[in-house]
Amino acid sequence: MRSITIAANADLPRLFDIWEASVQATHDFLHPDDFLLLVPIVERTLREFTPLHCVRDEAGQPCAFIGVSEGMIEMLFVDPRHRGQGAGRALMEFAIAQLGATLVDVYEQNRQALGFYERLGFAVAGRSEQDPFGKPYPILHLELTAPLRSSRSAADLPA
């Protein structure tokens, strides 16, 4: 099992790099100007959001991270070089079992993320025409409706 830890301040530049690479790999629908508007918002959010949990690679460096607040997955990003290797699923299993995560919002155009969450038992519970910044990117509001199917029990996940 990969190590899940709370991110330290020293990890923040790496977490920003993960966010940037992940968004560039999966959010091709975002206009470049809208992406640039997100940069200072994300930088501030990463500094202020606590705790952020991350999966670390074999070298001990973050390769994915998640932020959960009051049951809502506020952010989940995986370094594109580590996609498909279980880091995102490990963070989701942890967030559901240990942090009580049951809600997540996703851009409607981000079909990869939508499929990922649906495979984990989330279903669309609502839709907004605009993103939180008033931009014309519809948001799907997902809710956990099926129990997570995991090869591990919640007791096996780190606290």
Domain boundaries, given as residue ranges, for the chain? 3-156
Q: With cut-offs at 50, 70 and 90, classify the pLDDT of residue 4.
A: very high
How much is the pTM? 0.89
Give residue 147's pLDDT.
Answer: 75
Which pLDDT tens digit goes with each residue over 17-64? 999 999 999 898 999 999 999 999 999 999 999 999 999 998 899 999
**In this structure, which long-range contacts are made by residues 99-104, counting pairs with CB atoms below 8 Å and at least 24 apart in sequence?**
99/68, 99/71, 100/68, 100/71, 101/68, 101/71, 101/72, 101/73, 101/144, 102/71, 102/143, 102/144, 103/71, 103/72, 103/73, 103/141, 103/142, 103/143, 103/144, 104/72, 104/73, 104/76, 104/142
Work out the mean pLDDT of the chain and round it to a whole number: 91
Give residue 149's pLDDT.
Answer: 64
Which of these CATH numbers, 3.30.70.360, 2.40.10.10, 2.60.120.260, 3.40.630.30, describes 3-156?
Answer: 3.40.630.30
Q: Give yes or no for a contact between 46 and 16, defined as CB atoms under 8 angstroms apart.
A: yes
